[in-house]
Chain A
Amino acid sequence: MAGQLIPVWRSLSGGALIGAAAGLLMVVSGRVAGISGIVAGSLKANFGKQSWRLMFLLGLVLPALLVGVGPVDWSASPPTLAAAGVLVGFGTRLANGCTSGHGVCGLASLSRRSLAATATFVTVAIVTVAATHLLSHP
Chain B
Amino acid sequence: MTALVALIAGVVFGAGLMLSGMTNPANVLAFLDVAGHWQPALAFTLAAAVAVAVPAYAMMRGRARSLLGEVVDVPERSRLDTPLFLGSGLFGIGWGLSGVCPGPGVILLTTGTASAMAFVGALTLGAIAGSIVCGLRD
Contact = CB atoms under 8 A, between A and B. Distances in A.
A124 B77 CA distance: 23
Contacts, number: 498
B44 A12 contact: yes
B104 to A, nearest CB: 9
Interface residues of A, number: 109
A62 B19 contact: no
Contact of A88 (B59, B67, B77, B94): B94
B14 A64 contact: yes
A64 B130 contact: no
Given A24-B56, A105-B57, A123-B92, A60 B14 contact: yes
A94 B19 contact: no
Tell me if A's interface is mostly helix, strand, loop or mixed: helix
Interface residues of B, number: 118
A65 to B, nearest CB: 6
Contacts of B106: 35, 39, 57, 60-61
A8 B52 contact: no
Contact of B21 (A10, A86, A105, A118): A10
Q: For A14, A96, A123, which residue has the most chain B Cβ atoms within 10 angstroms? A: A14
Nearest to B71: A30
Interface string A13-48: 111111111111111111111011001110110000
B119 to A, nearest CB: 4
6 contacts: A29-B9, A40-B131, A60-B13, A88-B105, A94-B87, A120-B92
Interface of B: 2-37, 39, 41-42, 44-57, 59-61, 65-68, 70-75, 77-80, 83-103, 105-111, 113-115, 118-131, 133-134, 138
Interface of A: 1-6, 8, 10-33, 35-36, 39-41, 43-44, 51-53, 55-65, 69-76, 78-96, 98-100, 102-105, 107-113, 116-118, 120-130, 132-133
